Amino acid sequence: MNPIQTVIDLQEVDGRIRELEREAKDLPRRKALESARLKGVSASLEVARNQLAAAQQRIQESEQEASAAKDRVRELKILQASASSNKEFQQLAMAIEGLEHEADEAEARAYAMMDEVPRLERAVKEAEEKMSGETGGVDDFCKELDERLAAVKEELAQLAVERTEKAKLVNPRTLLYYERLRAKRWPVAVPLNADSVCEGCHLVVPPSTEQMVEHKMELVACTNCGRMLYRDL
């Protein structure tokens, strides 16, 4: 067996570990994005409800304002009936006219807002339906992500044990070189193709390096990128 085969076996395990570690980092991010999206839907529902409540409040206030103005008009008309002079009568008449105008304006505002209520109610209903539909989907999706994350962590734990066993089979000097290089470059061990080109950096290596690879030496480094070279097995 080619001496570098032990390195290749170790690298295959490390490659899988790298993939799973990236996935383990990505899964919480995906969950956070989905939760944020649901919060956006919830916020839209809250806005719709607040707009409806505000409209209903303004209707109530306008109706109360109109009612108060009408009550005051009735009081002034009673006073007007017993006015002691024409001047007093005219002053009360002007006050009554102003209050009647206020009552009309308040009622007009109330009616205008009432026309908006059906649209606002539809907006609330649509937002509630969307929230109801999204909640179940997001909950299911987040549950799937949690289950996948648990599976990834379990597989990583298994691979950690496998990696320890694979590393024991590699020559200590070669393993030290591999460990140092894998922090900077990946993959560490790459084929040297028929044109004497390193498949890592895609540059031609010197003939002497190619000869060492041909002799199946365990640690032959590319003179350009430092990766460990081997012929396709």
Residues of the chain with pLDDT under 70: 1, 233
Helices (H) and strands (E) in the chain, counts: 4, 2
Characterize 169-200 residue by residue with b for buried, 16 or more Cβ atoms within 10 angstroms of its Cβ, and e for exposed.
ebeeebbebbeebbeeeebbbbbbeeeeebbb
Q: Go through the chain and tell me how many residues it has.
A: 233
Structure tokens at 94: 């002007």
- Distances 17 to 6, 23, 101 between C-alpha atoms, Å: 17, 10, 79
Q: Which CATH number is 9-169 given? A: 1.10.287.1490
Residue 134, pLDDT score: 86
Residue 1, pLDDT score: 60
CA angle 211, 229, 178 (to 5 degrees): 135
Based on C-alpha coordinates, what's the Rg of the chain?
40
Instruction: Say what the alpha-carbon torsion angle 136, 141, 143, 144 is, to the nearest 10 degrees.
Output: 140
Residue 109, pLDDT score: 93
List pLDDT tens digits, range 91-138: 999 999 999 999 999 999 999 999 999 999 999 999 998 888 888 888
0.75 exceeded by the pTM? no
- Tokens 């648990």: give the residue: 150
Q: Name the residue type at position 179.
A: E
The domain ranges of the chain are 9-169, 171-233
- Distances 116 to 46, 56, 103 between C-alpha atoms, Å: 18, 10, 20
Residue 165, pLDDT score: 97
Tell me the C-alpha distance between 106 and 83, whole Å.
Answer: 28
